[in-house]
């Protein structure tokens, strides 16, 4: 790099690790119930929630990091607790547009699952609890699911040029669901 070009400068981000809060985010994005209507199988239940004040489903807190190769994007994801029919609150899920990029999710608070699938349809779930990190390898679409009573909060790191692809997984759907059952949260086939 020549002397005419400035290097991107170091900076710090402060967290309350117990509460799972980013204390100085540059931006945040809220996803409300109304945008989750295509994702749950109990359409009447999610439509009713959207009509009843359209509350926030999950929030993502980020820093202004260049979306260029070589940078690492970080965020805090906060997924609220609740159920839509027998499904637990979940995120939309996404592939990365640059699909061969990984992501790490360190759970700071709450409990739940990371549901993952490959383009060919292999499906895996890993559990979240405070202090557990889930490694989402390259190629795997991924969705967080909150099976607890409190927000599921994760600290995420991924290549900043990855870019998020919501369209393909919305079309495909995940082959499995996490549903509430008499024995607690259960991983079941979508058609079941």
* Shorter beta-carbon distance to a copy of itself: residue 27 or 71: 71
Q: Which is nearer to a copy of itself, 53 or 121 (CB)?
A: 121
Question: Which residue, 41 or 63, is less far from a copy of itself as judged by CB?
Answer: 63
Do residues 155 and 105 lie in contact, with contact meaning Cβ atoms separated by under 8 Å?
yes
What is the C-alpha separation between 74 and 178, in angstroms, rounded?
Answer: 26
DSSP 3-state of 189 = strand
Among 26-34, 77-85, 114-122, 145-153, which window interacts with a copy of itself (CB under 8 A)? Answer: 114-122
Between 66 and 167, name the residue whose CB sits nearer to a copy of itself.
Answer: 66
Figure out which of the listed residues 84, 108, 145, 169 binds a copy of itself, where binding follows CB under 8 A: 108
The closest alpha carbon to 107, from 88, 85, 133, 140, belongs to 133
**Is there binding between residue 60 and a copy of itself (CB under 8 A)?**
no
Site for a copy of itself in 163-182 (CB under 8 A): none
CB atoms < 10 A from the CB of 40, how many?
22
CA dihedral 144, 150, 155, 158 (to 10 degrees): 10
Report residue 128 CA to chain centroid gap.
Answer: 12
Q: Contacts with a copy of itself in 27-56 (CB under 8 A)?
A: none
Which of these segments, 30-38, 50-58, 132-140, 169-177, binds a copy of itself (CB under 8 A)?
A: 132-140
Interface residue with a copy of itself among 53, 120, 149, 171 (CB under 8 A) is: 120
Residues 6+ apart with CB under 8 A from 82: 88, 89, 146
Burial of 148 by CB count in 10 Å (0-12 exposed, 13-18 middle, 19+ buried)? middle
11 binds a copy of itself (CB under 8 A): yes
Binding site for a copy of itself (CB under 8 A): 1, 3, 7-17, 63, 65, 69-72, 74, 98, 100-104, 106, 108, 114, 116, 118-120, 122, 124, 126-127, 130-140, 155, 157-160
């Amino acid at each position: 790099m020549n002397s005419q070009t400035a290097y991107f400068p170091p900076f710090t981000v402060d967290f309350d690790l117990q509460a799972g809060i980013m204390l100085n985010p540059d931006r945040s994005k809220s996803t409300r119930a109304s945008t989750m209507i295509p994702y749950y199988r109990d359409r009447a239940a999610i439509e009713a929630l959207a009509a009843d004040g359209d509350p926030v489903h999950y929030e993502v807190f980020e820093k202004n990091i260049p979306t260029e190769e070589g940078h690492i994007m970080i965020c805090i994801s906060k997924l609220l607790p609740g159920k839509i029919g027998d499904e637990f609150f979940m995120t939309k899920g996404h592939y990365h547009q640059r699909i061969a990029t990984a992501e790490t999710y360190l759970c700071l608070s709450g409990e739940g699952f990371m549901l993952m699938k490959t383009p060919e349809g292999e499906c895996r779930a890993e559990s979240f609890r405070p202090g557990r990190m889930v490694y989402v390898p390259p190629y795997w679409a991924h969705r967080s699911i909150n099976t607890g009573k409190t927000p599921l909060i994760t600290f995420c790191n991924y290549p900043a040029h990855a870019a998020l692809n919501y369209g393909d997984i919305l079309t495909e759907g995940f082959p499995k669901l996490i549903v509430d059952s008499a024995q607690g949260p259960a991983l079941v086939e979508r058609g079941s």
